[in-house]
Structure 1
Amino acid sequence: MRLKTLEISGFKSFADKTRIDFLPGMTGIVGPNGSGKSNISEAVRWVLGEQSAKSLRGSKMPDVIFAGSADRHPLNRAAVSITLDNSDHYLKSDYTELTISRLLYRSGDSEYQLNGQSCRLKDITELLMDSGMGQDSFSIISQGRVEAIFNSKPEDRRNIIEEVAGVYKYRKHKEKAQRELDDTMAYLHRVEDIIAELEGRVEPLEEQSNLAQDYLDQQQKFALLDRTQLVRQLHTEMAQKQTADTQVVAKQTQVAAHQAAAQEQAATVQALKQQQTELLAQKDALQEKLVTATQQVEHSQGQVNLSGEQQRHQDEQRQQLQAQLTMLSQQLTTNQTDLAAVQAESDQLATTMKDAQGAIRQLTAATDPQVVTDLRQQLEDQRTAYFDQKQQVANWRNQRQYRQQDQQRLQQQGQRVAQQLTQLQATAQSAQTAVTEIQAKATAHKAQLNEAEQALDAEAGQYQQHQKQYQALQHNWQAALEVYQRAQTKVANQQASSAEYGGFYQGVRAILKQRQHFRGLLGAVSELLDVPQRYTTAVEYALGGQLQQVVVDDETTAKAAVGYLRDHRAGRATFLPLSTVRGRQIDRQTLQLLHSMTGYLGVGSELLTINDQAQVILQYLLGTTIFAANLDTAVAISQRIHHRYRVVSLAGDVVSASGAITGGQSKQSHSSVLRQQQELQQLQASIATMQQQLTDQETKIKAQRAALQASEQRSQALQATINELQPQCRQLDDQLANAQTTLEQANRRVKAAELEIQQAHAGETDEQADQLAEQIVQGEAQITETEAAVKTLQAKIKQVTTAQAQQQSELTAKQTWLAGAKERQQQQRATVKQLQADIAAAQRDQATATAKLAELDRQQALTPADAQAQLAQAQADRQTIEQKLATTNEQLTTVNDDLAAAETANQRTSGLLQLANDELQQAQVSQTQLAALIDQQQNQLSEKYQLNLAAAEKDISDLPADDLAVQLKLLKRGLDEIGTVNLNAIDEYREVKERYDFLTQQRDDLLTAKAQLMTTMTELDGQVKTRFKASFDQIAAKFTATFRHMFGGGTAELVLTDPDDLLTTGIDIMAQPPGKKFQNMGLLSGGERALTAITLLFAILQVQPVPFCILDEVEAALDPANVTRFARYIHQFQDQTQFIVITHRKETMVQADILYGVTMQESGVSKMVAVDLDHEETRTEGK
């Protein structure tokens, strides 16, 4: 496993695409300060999943994208890829080569790729897990990490050991267990709270149950006597209604006779009025003709006087008009000549401007800056290709050198290994015999263990399935319980608000709170009404504030309540006494019409119900209110019944009897006392459903708990069997593992020796080196061609730039002339417009004068003789009209006398008809009231007892009327004294007791789960302690040995600050360099501290080797001698670890197998330089 290549593009200072090839051994990356060396290690950390911008020396993640320089624009994307050689399948993947890529865009979008396929960060993390190559592992060690070792507190330093020990997953498991424990404790507290609540409810519920039974007994007796009273009242009212029906028929006959007489007299009056109207119209017409004739006489007399003077005036006017026409003709000719000249000049100027615009367009196209831009882009592309070719040739040179070195090394190794191969083969054969013998012994034991383990696995699967189902049921029960508790709380709040009459007006609330002091007070209208959900909105808007009116038995109670409000200044309220309020209803003919209309739902008093005693209040409030489906049908119904009654839609739109329409919707939700009462009822109903659901879930949980316990017992029995077999199998496995380890080591050595021999033979002839030599020659030829293309493009850019400057000067001159021409063209257009206006005005004046002249020719003055004839005719016409007017006046006087007599007779008959109608209306009101009273009481029978009259008559009491009234009064008083009772107390008591028992069992289960989680956490802590202690001991031993080697003597130790608490103990580093005393690391010099920290990192790499390690200037603080010792020590790890060392120390560079240099030839842009160690040539590589 090794790092093969790193590709960087747009990451920090690496603006251009850069590729670095890494070979086995030690690779050095060098360069001056600020050249971007450390950006390479940060690129590797970033591509491996680093999420902290601060650790990458930035404030936010887009800061890693190239931000631009003095000569370059910022880039929009950063991309880094690393390629890993996984031919030994060190990483758990089927691929022998893995490429991990990460891309970030300035917009914030990012992408991860694995072998070119998009993937998640989680996929990368899982691939690298436990491989030692994560972004926080020891694969990347910076100078800051070295400083953190000797600057951090002992408690923080333990994280280094924990990372090696691999206790992260155990800590995660413990955190998960802690979260589960917290959830369990939360559930436990909740269940205990509910149990405490239920314990306080059991006793009161038992008392309520007994009280409810007493209430039901008295209510049954009261219902029998109440039905009896209703039946007797119905019989009396039906007899009274028959009498009222007879009276109505007699009154209707009398009204019909008076109506016939009145209609005959009305016809006579109408005929006389028609004749009177005609005569008045005739009189008005004659009077108008008389006025006209008089005016004509006066006009004719004036014509006689003026006929001579008019002739002279017309002659003078004709001469003036002819002179005006001559002048206008001359002016029109002059304007037309000027207009033709100006238009010709304008046409010539437009042609010249068009030619100039064409020339400007050609010059604009010729000076297009895009031409130069395209040429410069081609030049940049050629430069890029030049650098790519240079880098490729340098890579080929390095590869050829490596191939030659490998050939020499392999030949020497082949000769040495061939001598060892025979001895290694004999050792492998002996190890194979031992493995075969142990495997035969272990097979019999494992067969029995496998059978038991398979049975246990199957049972474990069943147990997990039962446990998941149990947890799911328990979770659902907890969720349902929370919903139930919230609903109970909401009901309690609303009940409390209802008890305080929240939502009622101040005065109404004050009276309702004192209702026990007013025996005749039945309650507010909203309390007495029973409104189906469908009609809630309609009723709210139809009644509005009437919902808060208070119903009382009579005026006395109303006056007492008003007095209370006045005395206590408690507000105002409206009272509806049953003794005085009268119901209202729609006439039968209108009802028949309504039933035939689409969208009609019914009358409000029929759709709703109310307390039996307050039935008349419902008739009063909604007896004439019609309910419709929507506003359109409401308007249609109102128009059909001629706006006689109020109509309300289901959405609350109101069409009043006056025709006014009220509707709309406010922004705030509307919540009346009626809606609050309905919400409370709905909540109470839903609570009952929730209680049943909780009971069902508790039953399922009990059954699942029993299945879980049975599965656990079976698992325990199988586990006991396995515990007996496992020690025997482990002993045989240990023996087999030791034997196999010996065999594998022997086989690996044999294969390694054979492979080295094969490589030595294969290296004798290497065709690839020859191919690389040919590629180098071809690459250098391509570089020469690219350099020539760059020079050609530079010359062409200079030529195009010079030509465009000349064309730009000519373009400016053309544009200046064109601007002046446009201004002259606008002036000419203004002149043409003014001349055209003058010509039009002259033509209009000419037409007007011609028309006036023609009119004078048509008109001729009257002669004096004609004027005298007209006067005589007008006087004769006026006399005829005066005679006709006198005749019409005489006829009109006669008709007026006849009309007065007819109207007097009609008024007498109308008085008799009105009297008869009043008597009929009184009889009909009595009839309607009795019918409504009968319907009301029949409805009471139906609603209260679900009986009709015939059925009610079969089950009534035979008590006399007086005794019946007394018994009803006594029973009513007894029920009132009992007050409100909980009729569901018996069932509720049983349900509460069952829930109490169930929750007690739940509490016991939660306590058991708590104990199990505590045990799990203790076991995890034990695992952390064991692994931490084992890793600490290994690293401490390696640290002591490595310290002596790195310092050339002395000693050092890792010391636990609290050995008794391995979960939190810190780690101190004690060191004694040669010639100094044994002391804490913090007391050493800066260089000694740095070397000690590096020593600790080397000790960790010995305990937990990694495939590759990037060291970023970790030796910066060391003196030259220690740097040399540090660099040489790295070679001891080269067989197991590939090192990439970022440094600026010469002592480290000398030990590197290959060097890469980082330079900034262009300000702010880093480039790579490959150093050929054999020829000491430095070549700049391309992007």
Structure 2
Amino acid sequence: MRLKTLEISGFKSFADKTRIDFLPGMTGIVGPNGSGKSNISEAVRWVLGEQSAKSLRGSKMPDVIFAGSADRHPLNRAAVAITFDNSDHYLKSDYTELTISRVLYRNGDSDYQLNGQSCRLKDITELLMDSGMGQDSFSIISQGRVEAIFNSKPEDRRNIIEEVAGVYKYRKHKEKAQRELDDTMAYLNRVEDIIAELEGRLEPLEEQSSLAEDYLDQQKKFALLDRTQLVRQLHTEMDQKRTVDTAVQEKQTQVVNHQRSEQKQTTTVQSLKHQQTDLLAQKDALQAKLVSATRLVEQSQGQVNLSGEQQRHQAEQRQQLEQQLTETQDQIKDNRDQLAAVQEKLTALTAEMATVKQAIHDLTKATDPRVLADIRQQIEKQRNTYFDQKQQVANWRNEQQYLQQDQERRQQAGQRVRQQLTTLQSDATMATDAVAELTTQATTMKNCLNQAEQDLDAEAGNYQRVDQQYQGLQHNWQSALEVYQRAQTKVASQQAASAEYGGFYQGVRAILKQRERFRGLLGAVSELLQVPDRYTTAVEFALGGQLQQVVVDDETTAKAAVGYLRKQRAGRATFLPLSTIRGRQIDRNTLSLLHSMPGYLGIGSDLVTIDAQAQVILQYLLGTTVFAANLDNAVAISQRIHHRYRVVSLGGDVVSASGAITGGQTKQNHSSVLRQQQELQQLEGSIKQMKQQLAEQETKIKAQRSLLMDSEKRRQDLQATINERQPQCRQLDDRLANAQTTADQAQRKLAAAQLEIKQATAEDDDHKATELIEQIKTGEAAIAETAVRVKELQARLATLGTDQEAQQATLSQKQAWLAGAKERRQQQSATVQQLTSDEAAANDRIQNLRDQLTQLDQQHALTPAAAQDQLKAAQVDRQQIEADLATTNDQLTTVNDDLAAAETANQRTSGLLQLANDDLQRAQVQQTRLAALIDQQQNQLSEKYSLSLAAAEKDVSDIAPDDLAVQLKLLKRGLDEIGTVNVHAIDEYHEVKERYDFLTQQRDDLLTAKDQLTTTMTELDDQVKTRFKASFDQIAAKFTATFRQMFGGGTAELVLTDPADLLTTGIDIMAQPPGKKFQNMGLLSGGERALTAITLLFAILQVQPVPFCILDEVEAALDPANVTRFARYIHQFQDQTQFIVITHRKETMVQADILYGVTMQESGVSKMVAVDLDQETTTERKPS
């Protein structure tokens, strides 16, 4: 395999697309410092996957994109493509030619391609792994890497041997195995924790399971006898109830008769009360009229006395008002004349002020100092331009002088090389071919090895896929297990809270905890309801605290519970006795109307279910509650049914029967007892599903583990084959390297000389000189134009300064007149305001005088005769009112006597009715008690045994009554002694036992996997030790031999710092150049250290040849004699390794088959110049 081409575009200084063709043999890249030579080696490193911007001499990766120059804009992308001839399939690919491309955009986007197809960086890394061309390989060696060999610590120096030994993939496998071991140990710890937890649960669960089975057996016997007792009690109580029903009917007839008599008497009393009320109202009205008539008589008497004097006073007052009105009107007329004159003066003054203001504005603008400042700024700007132009012309003259000196220097250098050219041409020789038979054998063996490695990679991919699936199943199982355990913990917590009745009121919680004390206690309303999720919120807000009301069979149980709470001082609770609670329902007409309303969902008692025995409670609580979709629908429905029933929305908004609306949302969202019970039920259902899913996942894990073991066996077989063939390949490579010959040194000297002659005759110098002359002429013309513009601006500045002085004097006069005019206008405006105010006040006085005259016109004084007639009429009206009042008092006395007699008779009848009602109530209480007792016992049959009375009669015992009580007592005592048992312990024990067995098997598998991983890591360490030691021994031997050749004598050795620990040992380099003592390389001179480091690199290349090697100024620190040795020694590898040498040393140049020159004719932009030394032609590499 060899490197064919390198294409660079936009990478660092290579702004234009540049293509470099690499031919067999040694290629030299030369050029002055700063021309961009090293950018070529960095481009190769970058396209092969380098990720460190620092190693590419940048701070961040976009720094590799061409940043622009004085004449060019920055580019937006950098692209590099490298092409390999892979006809020998050195790289593990079916392609005979491979092109790796990398593109980076300034926004950070990047793309990798392999033969034009997008790929991942990982794909390129895997392709180059163990090929000698990956990161940190010996395919690219810079001067810094040479220095690192003698500057690094012994422990860091071992990385060089590891790279040769190819232990990178083993270390990767070990790191992967270590990660798998860590994961396995973490998982093992979790499994052991779970097993420890299950072990602690198994023994108690086994005991609980046995106890629960005994409990269930005794409970079955107790249930049979309990049913028998309930059936017998029911028959006795039903007989008693039939007798009480007859007595209730008789009492009800008596009550009805007394009610009819009472109703008639009440009607009579009400009629008399109405008459009494009417007469009292009539009396009050007559008394009020009498008071008014008396007051009118007194007023009429006063009018008779005052009528003459009033007429005289009104005449005098009219005369005074008319005189004041005439005087005020004359005053308004004079005021208006004066106002018109002042307003005329004010208008003229305002117009004159506007004219003066405009003149002031024009003068202010003309005298603005900013005008002069602007002209001065223009003058300064033109002066700066003048000096910049002068500086630019001076720079061009300096560049012209430098160009002339550079031409003279290169002509002298070319003259020296031409004198040596004839001698160099006579020394040229041809190179010999490599041994074809060894090449064929090596190729065949490598193909076999590549095939085995491809098979191993394929199997590794299969193993990785199966392992990923296995790990995924394990991860999913672990995640599911954790979710299952969290759910179990949450259920246990909620069950514990439910057992303690968390969320219930104190009194309710106390009763429910002692529910076994009360035989007729069914439970809290929230326990008995079954509410669909959709209606949970609506039911919560509709019932509120009623959810915590306790349902009991009758009042007896309720009273017992209340007594218990009072005795224990345990709080309060509300009880709903089934014997007394009556259901409620909506009338048919309203129900029919509701069905036609939008948003109507139904009646609460129809949407929610309850235990059958408590159906009446549901009707009582929700029988008249309407459910609506939202608040708008709820309000509309409530209005339509005239607020007769409560309406609740799904969001919990309540429209009560009174019309009140309750709604909103609190910040805290505490779960009600109803929602807590629903959440507990949902969690228990989820746990069942999780348990089934865990079992299915455990089955899949077992099957996947079997596939994983099979794949591991195939991988081990393939690895054994590879380990056998790799040493054979290395032996053939060594024999082939020794058979290859060196190239002709004279040919390379000739090529170097020709390149130097070409550089001495640059083609574009004349063009550059002509261009500089034109630039200087243009610059001098621009300087003259700028000087003229400066003089013109200075003359304009002087003229403006003189004009502004005269205009400033005029401006001051105008401003003084304007200030006085403003004061005069303010005085005149005040006068106008005062006159206007006086006129408004006069108008107000005129209106007031006219109002007073109008009032006098409306007042007419009565004559003495008219006043006397009015008095007589008032006295007659008063006498008539007094007669009507006497008649009304007589009627009121008669009605009061009749009303007292009727009320006495009604009270006697009400007493008889009360006695009859008391008798009826006592009978009904006894009837209700018997009915509730019957209902309670029937509910007990239904609740406990899900049986009706008829069905229970078929499944009873024929035991005698006395024996029945004894047996029930004994069984009850036995159940009490057993106490509370967990009946779910039977199923839970079997579940935990099954889970314990599965996890135990998992633990055994994990322990086996742990041992296998530990063994694998030990084997990998052994492989690293073996390969490291073998490579070290080979490199050490080659290093000693190569050292003698490079130094012309002396000796050197590689020494392990800790031979007992081959995994961590460092490497020391001991050397003895000719004429010096044997010492550590760090004590040598700088040049000797550099040559020793280069010697080590050559020794490594002999042990592990690479297809190509880029040497970036590695010989820079050597003296000329050592550079010659270095360059000659390269020829020993040119047939097995393609060398690209970046140098500026002439001794290296003469050894190259082809030279590329890197120039920077344009500032900041690199270009290539190629010299084919065989054809003796020179061409410039133009941008593609």
**More displaced 10-residue stretch of structure 1: 469-478 or 959-968:** 959-968
Secondary structure of 1:529's match? helix
RMSD: 7.3
Q: Deviation of residue 787 (structure 1)?
A: 4.5
CA separation of 1:203 and 1:118: change in aligned 2, threshold 3 A: closer
Counterpart residue identity of residue 1092, structure 1: R
CA separation of 1:1050 and 1:492: change in aligned 2, threshold 3 A: farther
Correspondent of 1:573 among 559, 570, 574: 570
Counterpart residue identity of residue 308, structure 1: R
Q: Deviation of residue 1071 (structure 1)?
A: 4.5
Counterpart residue identity of residue 571, structure 2: T
> Is 1:1137 equivalent to 2:1172 in the alignment?
no
1:187 match? 187
> Is 1:342 equivalent to 2:339 in the alignment?
no
Is the contact between residue 45 and residue 140 of structure 1 (CA under 8 Å) also seen in structure 2? no
> Is 1:868 equivalent to 2:869 in the alignment?
no
Is the contact between residue 1050 and residue 1074 of structure 1 (CA under 8 Å) also seen in structure 2? yes
Secondary structure of 1:1137's match? strand
**More displaced 10-residue stretch of structure 1: 993-1002 or 918-927:** 918-927
Counterpart residue identity of residue 849, structure 1: R
Is the contact between residue 1039 and residue 1096 of structure 1 (CA under 8 Å) also seen in structure 2? no
Equivalent positions of 1:204-353 (< 5 A) are: 204-231=204-231, 236=237, 239=242, 242-243=245-246, 246=249, 250=253, 251=255, 255=259, 258-259=262-263, 262-263=266-267, 266=270, 269-270=273-274, 273-274=277-278, 276-277=280-281, 280-281=284-285, 284=288, 287-288=291-292, 291=295, 294-295=298-299, 298=302, 301-302=305-306, 304-347=308-351, 349-350=353-354
What do residues 1036-1087 of structure 1 show as CA deviations (whole Å, max 9, x unaligned)? 56766787788887655442211232221123343456665434455x38xx
Q: Distance in 2 between matches of 1:151 and 1:458?
A: 42
2:885 match? 889
Which structure 2 residue ranges, 5 or more long, are not aligned? 21-26, 595-599, 1132-1137, 1146-1154, 1170-1184
Equivalent positions of 1:710-729 (< 5 A) are: none
1:900 match? 896
Correspondent of 1:431 among 431, 436, 442: 436
CA separation of 1:727 and 1:1090: change in aligned 2, threshold 3 A: closer
Is the contact between residue 150 and residue 1090 of structure 1 (CA under 8 Å) also seen in structure 2? no
Q: Deviation of residue 291 (structure 1)?
A: 4.2
**More displaced 10-residue stretch of structure 1: 369-378 or 550-559:** 369-378
What do residues 104-157 of structure 1 show as CA deviations (whole Å, max 9, x unaligned)? xxxxx74557799999987998899877686999968687x7886666543344
Q: Distance in 2 between matches of 1:967 and 1:641?
A: 59
1:25 match? 29
> Is 1:849 equivalent to 2:845 in the alignment?
yes
Q: Distance in 2 between matches of 1:965 and 1:587?
A: 36
CA separation of 1:345 and 1:487: change in aligned 2, threshold 3 A: same
Secondary structure of 1:1060's match? coil
Is the contact between residue 549 and residue 573 of structure 1 (CA under 8 Å) also seen in structure 2? no
Counterpart residue identity of residue 690, structure 2: M
Secondary structure of 2:1139's match? coil
Q: Deviation of residue 453 (structure 1)?
A: 11
CA separation of 1:833 and 1:213: change in aligned 2, threshold 3 A: farther
Is the contact between residue 6 and residue 80 of structure 2 (CA under 8 Å) also seen in structure 1? yes
2:1089 match? 1092
1:529 match? 527
CA separation of 1:865 and 1:274: change in aligned 2, threshold 3 A: closer
1:1149 match? none
TM-score (ref. length: structure 1): 0.69
Q: Distance in 1 between matches of 2:792 and 2:132?
A: 60
What do residues 775-816 of structure 1 show as CA deviations (whole Å, max 9, x unaligned)? 757865885687479758966996898799899999999999
2:485 match? 485
Q: Distance in 2 between matches of 1:780 and 1:180?
A: 71
Is the contact between residue 328 and residue 846 of structure 1 (CA under 8 Å) also seen in structure 2? yes
What do residues 384-431 of structure 1 show as CA deviations (whole Å, max 9, x unaligned)? 999999999999999x999999x999999997899748xx6xx68x93
What do residues 572-597 of structure 1 show as CA deviations (whole Å, max 9, x unaligned)? 5226698x989764675768788676
Equivalent positions of 1:605-620 (< 5 A) are: none
Counterpart residue identity of residue 178, structure 2: Q
Q: Distance in 1 between matches of 2:332 and 2:272?
A: 76
1:1146 match? none
Counterpart residue identity of residue 885, structure 1: I
Is the contact between residue 287 and residue 885 of structure 1 (CA under 8 Å) also seen in structure 2? no
Counterpart residue identity of residue 346, structure 2: V
What do residues 881-907 of structure 1 show as CA deviations (whole Å, max 9, x unaligned)? 423432442354245345535654368
CA separation of 1:1071 and 1:223: change in aligned 2, threshold 3 A: same
Secondary structure of 1:86's match? strand
Equivalent positions of 1:112-123 (< 5 A) are: 112=110
1:1147 match? none
What do residues 440-474 of structure 1 show as CA deviations (whole Å, max 9, x unaligned)? x999x989x99x99999999988776655544433
Q: Deviation of residue 178 (structure 1)?
A: 1.0
Indicate the percent of aligned positions where both proteins have the same amino acid.
42
**More displaced 10-residue stretch of structure 1: 268-277 or 695-704:** 268-277
1:176 match? 176
1:1162 match? none
CA separation of 1:1066 and 1:830: change in aligned 2, threshold 3 A: farther
Is the contact between residue 1048 and residue 1074 of structure 1 (CA under 8 Å) also seen in structure 2? yes
Q: Deviation of residue 353 (structure 1)?
A: 5.5
Is the contact between residue 62 and residue 104 of structure 2 (CA under 8 Å) also seen in structure 1? no
Q: Deviation of residue 1013 (structure 1)?
A: 2.3
What do residues 19-68 of structure 1 show as CA deviations (whole Å, max 9, x unaligned)? 9999953444379xxxx99999999999986658899798x99999999x
Secondary structure of 1:1068's match? strand
CA separation of 1:724 and 1:180: change in aligned 2, threshold 3 A: closer
Q: Distance in 2 between matches of 1:1047 and 1:1066?
A: 25
Is the contact between residue 389 and residue 783 of structure 2 (CA under 8 Å) also seen in structure 1? no
What do residues 474-503 of structure 1 show as CA deviations (whole Å, max 9, x unaligned)? 332222222222233334445566677776
Which structure 1 residue ranges, 5 or more long, are not aligned? 104-108, 566-571, 1143-1151, 1160-1165, 1173-1183
CA separation of 1:323 and 1:365: change in aligned 2, threshold 3 A: same
Q: Distance in 1 between matches of 2:732 and 2:141?
A: 38
Q: Distance in 1 between matches of 2:765 and 2:1047?
A: 46
What do residues 168-191 of structure 1 show as CA deviations (whole Å, max 9, x unaligned)? 444333222211111112222322
Secondary structure of 1:1136's match? strand
Report how many aligned residue pairs link the two structures. Answer: 1090
Is the contact between residue 307 and residue 863 of structure 2 (CA under 8 Å) also seen in structure 1? yes
Is the contact between residue 549 and residue 574 of structure 1 (CA under 8 Å) also seen in structure 2? no
CA separation of 1:616 and 1:1031: change in aligned 2, threshold 3 A: same
Q: Deviation of residue 356 (structure 1)?
A: 7.7
Counterpart residue identity of residue 845, structure 2: A
Q: Deviation of residue 994 (structure 1)?
A: 3.0
Counterpart residue identity of residue 1078, structure 2: F
**More displaced 10-residue stretch of structure 1: 255-264 or 85-94:** 85-94
Is the contact between residue 484 and residue 687 of structure 1 (CA under 8 Å) also seen in structure 2? yes
Q: Distance in 2 between matches of 1:729 and 1:911?
A: 130
Q: Distance in 2 between matches of 1:365 and 1:606?
A: 90
Is the contact between residue 605 and residue 623 of structure 1 (CA under 8 Å) also seen in structure 2? no
Is the contact between residue 112 and residue 119 of structure 1 (CA under 8 Å) also seen in structure 2? no
Is the contact between residue 550 and residue 573 of structure 2 (CA under 8 Å) also seen in structure 1? yes
Q: Distance in 2 between matches of 1:361 and 1:134?
A: 74
1:1179 match? none
CA separation of 1:789 and 1:146: change in aligned 2, threshold 3 A: farther
